[in-house]
Amino acid sequence: MSTTSAVPARDVIRAIAFVGDLAMGQPTDHSWRTAWLARQLAQATGGNEAHCAQAAIVASLRWSGCTANAHEFARAFGDDVALRESLLSTQDPEGGLKIGVQNRPAAFFSLSRIHCEVAGDIAALLSLDEDVQYALRHLFENYDGSGAPGGLSHDEVPRFVYLTAMASDLEILHRLYGLERACALVRLRADRQYPADLVDTAVANARAWFTELATRRTTEDIDVLRGDALEQGVPLEVLADVIDLKLPWMTGHSRLAAALARDAAEQLGLEPSVQHLLYRAALIHGMGRTAIPNMIWETPSALSESAWERVRLAPYWTSRAGRLLPSLRKEAELASLAYERSDGSGYYRGLTADDVPLEGRILAAAVARAALGRPRPWRSAYPANQVRELLFEEARQGRLDGPAVRALLSQTPRRSSHPATPAVTKLYVLTDREKEVLRCISLGASNKAVALKLSISTSTVRTHVESVFRKLQCTTRAAAILKAVQLGLLDPVELQ
Confidence of residue 108 (pLDDT cuts 50, 70, 90): confident
Q: Cα separation of 6 and 305, whole Å?
A: 39
What is the residue-averaged pLDDT of the chain?
Answer: 92
DSSP string across 245-313: TTSGGGTTHHHHHHHHHHHHHHHTT--HHHHHHHHHHHHTTTGGGGGS-HHHHT-SSPPPHHHHHHHHT
Residue 186's closest CA among 199, 168, 205? 199
Element (DSSP H or E) covering residue 7: strand 6-8
The pLDDT > 90 percentage for the chain reads 80
Handedness of CA 172, 176, 180, 184 (dihedral sign): negative
Q: Give tens-digit pLDDT for 358-380.
A: 999 999 999 999 999 998 988 99
Q: Give tens-digit pLDDT for 130-144.
A: 999 999 999 999 999
Confidence of residue 286 (pLDDT cuts 50, 70, 90): very high
Residue 255's closest CA among 50, 460, 442? 442
Q: In this model, does residue 3 exceed pLDDT 60?
A: no
Handedness of CA 288, 291, 295, 301 (dihedral sign): negative
Confidence of residue 1 (pLDDT cuts 50, 70, 90): very low
What is the reported pTM?
A: 0.94
Residue 369's closest CA among 237, 260, 241? 260
Amino acid identity for residue 410 in this structure: S
DSSP string across 77-126: HS-HHHHHHHHHT---SS-HHHHHTTT-HHHHHHHHHHHHHHHHHHHHHT
Q: What are phi and psi of 102, to 5 degrees?
A: -65, -25
Residue 318's closest CA among 256, 240, 376? 240
DSSP string across 232-246: SEEETHHHHHHHHTT
Confidence of residue 98 (pLDDT cuts 50, 70, 90): low
Cβ atoms of 290 and 19 closer than 8 Å: yes
Q: Cα separation of 449 and 398, whole Å?
A: 38
pLDDT at 2: 46
Q: Give tens-digit pLDDT for 399-423.
A: 999 999 999 999 776 655 566 666 5
Mean pLDDT over 293-297 rounds to 96
Mean pLDDT over 202-212 rounds to 97
Instruction: Look at strands 233-235 and 6-8 and give their pairing.
Output: antiparallel
pLDDT at 325: 83
Mean pLDDT over 285-312 rounds to 95
Gyration radius of the chain's alpha carbons: 23
Angle at CA 258, nearest 5°, toward 249 and 421? 85
Confidence of residue 291 (pLDDT cuts 50, 70, 90): very high
Residue/partner pairs of 257-260 with CB below 8 Å, 24 or more apart: 257/282, 257/285, 257/338, 257/363, 257/366, 257/367, 257/369, 257/370, 258/3, 258/282, 258/283, 258/366, 259/413, 259/414, 259/416, 259/417, 259/492, 259/493, 260/366, 260/369, 260/370, 260/408, 260/413
Q: What are phi and psi of 293, to 5 degrees?
A: -60, 145
DSSP 337: T
pLDDT greater at residue 275 or residue 489: 275
Task: Name which of 178-182, 224-228, 274-278 the model is least confident about.
Answer: 224-228
pLDDT greater at residue 189 or residue 76: 189
Q: Which SS3 state, helix, strand or coil, does residue 6 take? A: strand
Mean pLDDT over 13-20 rounds to 96
Cα 51 → chain centroid: 26
Confidence of residue 431 (pLDDT cuts 50, 70, 90): very high
Amino acid identity for residue 390 in this structure: L
Q: In this model, does residue 195 exceed pLDDT 60?
A: yes
Q: Which SS3 state, helix, strand or coil, does residue 159 take? A: helix
Q: In this model, does residue 44 exceed pLDDT 50?
A: yes
Q: In this model, does residue 106 exceed pLDDT 90?
A: no
pLDDT at 414: 63
- Neighbouring C-beta atoms of residue 221, cutoff 10 Å: 12
Mean pLDDT over 269-280 rounds to 96
Angle at CA 423, nearest 5°, toward 421 and 428? 95
Residue 439's closest CA among 486, 487, 496, 387? 496
pLDDT at 420: 63
To the nearest 10 degrees (0 to 180), the angle between helices 272-283 and 253-267 is 160
Please report the domains of the chain, with CATH numbers, ordered by start residue: 9-219 (1.10.3210.10), 235-409 (1.10.3210.10), 422-495 (1.10.10.10)
